[in-house]
């Protein structure tokens, strides 16, 4: 089998890349190891930068996003029992939108199949060869080979693509805490996201829809999920979000819960020969800055543009610049995510001096117009160059 671009991974990055290429007349085959139902129900964050929503709309994948997405113009930092609003739109002219990653995957999968796209589920990729453009995969109990001009590795942190890059350099940091995330069938108690710093640990109140809430608690990396009953979760959230002005958190039935470790990771370079890494296969960010999905979208947008130029004019200049172009944006997002994480979490390894410094920094961010503007600019997302 042959195609122009072989895409390893059928999550949002792989599907969006295939969709963007299709719109420019470039053929692709998407290979996804899981079945479609599994991919479409994987729970992931869904805070979209302005640039991400622009890409989805311009590609024709924004109809349901515009109808169901929750547009936000600010966020709240809460500490010391007080809330401090960061007016993102006033400071940047941009917005952020809450729209679940599961819904993005559903939208893109439906578009690809409606367009006759070749998306192969339950196709386990065994190996990729960057020098020949060959992808070996197993489907229906048989081994197959797909040969392409180029390969896009969109198969996540544990996929095979990154392992095919020789002499890859990796940079990583593990954090001494994790997130206990819950999905609850209850209307959100807030109109905008609340990022709460508390001596007992960080908490985040997010929204999934007008009737579904997404909430997070800082816990230990080895936390026993079974030790957290619904009542304990709601009680702890109420403590960490607590204010003396009468604000109340409304509890409801919890339908999903999980513990997510916190890690920063970057692999360099993001290209070797015919293979290009994109999304989680090349970088991981702690979720505090809401950058993971947005970085994946920027990666494949840059890659689609480079591949389109290659097939339109024969020029490989944008392909040659791909890794450097992406990494510049990746490292900026890594720093912002690290900064937000260390600003808001209670570090069990910190001493009293470090905790006082952290509080002083929070007060500075909440009280300084330039500091708020910097947070807002990075949170809403830097323009895609």
Three-state SS for 287-317 is HHHCCHHHHHHHHHHHHHHHHHHHHHHCCCH
Residue 45 has pLDDT above 70, yes or no: no
Q: What is the DSSP string of 142-205?
A: EEEEEEEEEEEE-S-TTSSTGGGSTT-EEEEEEEEEEEEEEEESS--S-SS-EEEE-TT--EEE
Confirm whether pTM is higher than 0.75.
Answer: yes
Q: Which of 19, 198, 287, 322 is catalytic?
A: 287
> How confident is residue 43, by pLDDT bands cut at 50, 70 and 90?
low
The pLDDT of residue 40: 84
Residue 44 has pLDDT above 80, yes or no: no
Q: Which of 22, 72, 198, 345 is catalytic?
A: 72
Q: Which of 43-47, 73-77, 167-171 has the lowest mean pLDDT?
A: 43-47
The pLDDT of residue 46: 80
Q: Which of 73, 198, 272, 291 is catalytic?
A: 291
Residue 195: active-site member? yes
> Both tokens of residue 382?
């830097």
Q: Which is nearest to 378 in space by CA: 75, 161, 158?
A: 75
pLDDT in tens, 278-305: 999 999 999 999 999 999 999 999 999 9
- 340: number of Cβ within 10 Å: 23
DSSP H or E segment with residue 79: strand 75-79
Q: Could you tell me if 152 and 247 are in contact, meaning their C-beta atoms sit under 8 angstroms apart?
A: no
pLDDT in tens, 85-142: 999 999 999 999 999 889 999 999 999 999 999 999 999 999 999 999 999 999 999 9
Q: What is the mean pLDDT of residues 314-321?
A: 98
Q: Could you tell me if 77 and 197 are in contact, meaning their C-beta atoms sit under 8 angstroms apart?
A: yes
Residue 338: active-site member? no
Q: Which of 150, 175, 322, 379 is catalytic?
A: 379
Residues near 5 by beta carbon (within 8 Å), at least 6 away in sequence: 17, 18, 21, 26, 27, 28, 29, 148, 149, 150, 151, 152, 307
Q: Which of 150, 195, 216, 322 is catalytic?
A: 195
pLDDT in tens, 142-156: 999 999 999 999 999
pLDDT in tens, 325-365: 999 999 999 999 999 999 999 999 999 999 999 999 999 99
Residue 121: active-site member? no
Percent residues over pLDDT 70 in the chain: 99
Residue 42 has pLDDT above 90, yes or no: no
Residue 291: active-site member? yes
Residue 72: active-site member? yes
> Both tokens of residue 77?
């930092």
Q: What is the CATH number of domain 2-70+97-172+263-349?
A: 3.50.50.60
């Amino acid at each position: 089998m042959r195609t122009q671009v072989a895409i390893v991974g059928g999550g949002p990055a792989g599907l969006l890349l295939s969709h963007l290429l299709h719109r420019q007349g470039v053929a692709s085959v998407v290979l996804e190891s899981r079945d479609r139902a599994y991919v479409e129900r994987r729970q992931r964050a869904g805070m979209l930068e302005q640039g991400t929503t622009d890409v989805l709309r311009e590609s024709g994948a924004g109809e349901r996003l515009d109808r169901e997405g929750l547009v936000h113009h600010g966020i709240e930092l809460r500490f010391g029992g007080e809330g401090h609003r960061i007016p993102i739109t006033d400071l940047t002219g941009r917005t952020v939108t809450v729209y679940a990653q599961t819904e993005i995957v559903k939208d893109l999968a439906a578009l690809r199949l409606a367009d006759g796209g070749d998306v192969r589920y339950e196709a386990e990729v065994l190996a990729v060869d960057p020098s020949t453009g060959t992808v070996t995969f197993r489907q229906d109990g048989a081994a197959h080979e797909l040969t392409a001009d180029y390969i896009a590795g969109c198969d996540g942190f544990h996929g095979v693509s990154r392992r095919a890059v020789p002499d890859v350099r990796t940079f990583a940091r593990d954090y001494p805490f994790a997130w206990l995330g819950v999905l609850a069938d209850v209307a959100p108690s807030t109109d905008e996201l609340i990022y709460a710093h508390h001596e007992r640990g960080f908490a985040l109140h997010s929204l999934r829809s007008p009737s579904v809430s997404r909430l997070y608690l800082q816990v230990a990396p080895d936390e026993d999920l079974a030790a957290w009953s619904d009542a304990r979760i709601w009680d702890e959230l109420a403590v960490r979000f607590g204010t003396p002005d009468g604000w109340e958190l409304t509890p409801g039935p919890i339908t999903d819960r999980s513990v997510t470790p916190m890690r920063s990771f970057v692999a360099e370079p993001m290209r070797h020969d015919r293979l290009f890494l994109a999304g989680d296969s090349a970088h991981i960010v702690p979720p505090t800055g809401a950058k993971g999905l947005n970085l994946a979208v920027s990666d494949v947008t840059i890659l689609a543009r480079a591949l389109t130029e290659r097939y339109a004019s024969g020029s490989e200049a944008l392909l040659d610049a791909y890794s450097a172009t992406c990494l510049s944006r990746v490292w900026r997002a890594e720093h912002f995510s690290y900064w937000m994480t260390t600003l808001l979490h209670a570090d069990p390894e910190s001493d009293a001096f470090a905790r006082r410094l952290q509080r002083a920094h929070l007060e500075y961010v909440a009280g300084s117009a330039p500091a708020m503007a910097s947070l807002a600019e990075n949170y809403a997302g830097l323009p895609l160059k």
